[in-house]
Amino acid sequence: MSGIFLNFNGTSVLQLMSFFILMYFLVKLLYKPFLSMLEKRRDEVKSEYDKASKEREESEKIKKMARAELDEIRKNILNYEEESKKRVAEYELKERQRIDGEIKAMIENARSQIEEEKAKAQRVLETQVVTLSIALASKIIQQEIDEKSKREFLMKQLSKIGQTNEDK
């Protein structure tokens, strides 16, 4: 009864050898190529993953560089903006000073012209006063009136001249 579980005969050995030969061919022809194909695929996936990781890192570097450049550009724009505002303020100040100078020169010119006109008017007035004085004197001489009427006439004429001077 010891052979119930294990019974070795010629067929069993042949079956066992057939099994090992089949295993050998299966391992040699199917299992090793399958394993090498899996290994290749694993290597490809790993290389793709490494490549993607490198590209991600590179894109992060590029993104950081782009942000740094953008920040630098913004900083430059702000500097240019501040500089242009300063230039505009300086230009406005210079223009105001130039315009103020021109206005002062025009005012001085106008004052000198007014003074000249005033002097001309005074010379004309003096000429008219002299002419009136001569005319008065000639009228006084021509009229043969008494002393009182002469004085009244002179006072009247002088008051007219005084009013004329006050008006101007």
Q: What pLDDT, in 10s, does the model give residues 106-135?
A: 999 999 999 999 999 898 888 888 888 887
Domain ranges of the chain: 10-167
Cβ atoms 7, 15 nearer than 8 A: no
Mean pLDDT confidence for 126-155: 75
Burial class (CB in 10 A: 0-12, 13-18, 19+), 150: middle
Cβ atoms 157, 136 nearer than 8 A: yes
Q: Could you give the angle at the alpha carbon of 72 between the alpha carbons of 71 and 73, nearest 5°?
A: 90
Of the chain, the percentage scoring pLDDT greater than 90 comes to 55
pTM reported for the whole predicted model = 0.41
Report the Cα 164 to chain-centroid distance in Å: 64
